[in-house]
Amino acid sequence: MTSAGGLTGFWVIALMTLHSANLGESKPYSLNEPDVPFPPAYPTAGNLFAICHQGQGRPRYPDSFFPTSGASHFRRRGIAINRMESWFNFCCSGVPAQENSKILCCAQQAWKRALSMFCTAEYSTMTLVYECCEAKGEDRWRCFSEFPINPGYFSMPGYTAPGVLVDNRLFTFNSQTC
């Protein structure tokens, strides 16, 4: 026969176990993995001001941000963000900025180019690719823009982006498509 105290102890342990159980949900990152919020939001007229004027307050991902081994999928995300932010800077202050109507078009091209290069890098590995990369054409862009991180492109209070080297020759703004 089981005592009431033993049965109560059993239920307490069972409830604590169920409460702390994972039950199929997983945390996005372990303590050892870097946090690279992804995907970036699609540039729109509504977030263009923040894209152009709060860029230095959004995260960048220098090589030192990542562990020396592993986390390559986070590194590819970081490279895409770094490229995109650098190209946004070009759109907002370079040749396209001379015509305000071209800034948004340039930012949209930069976003697509950075994510296209991200997908190319994803397919060059022996790991699962980011799910949006599996889509083609407009479906790919819809996928990337479906659940963006920081859709308003707001800066992080007190954060100043470190300098990150980006090869700007990889992006050419085509004003004829605007």
Q: Where are the alpha helices (DSSP H) in the chain?
A: 4-20, 48-53, 72-93, 100-123, 137-146
pLDDT score of 143: 97
pLDDT value at 58 more than 90: yes
- What is the spatial distance between Cα 13 and Cα 39, in angstroms, rounded to a whole number? 40
Query: pLDDT by residue (tens digit) across 103-160?
Result: 999 999 999 999 999 999 999 988 899 999 999 999 999 999 999 999 999 999 999 9
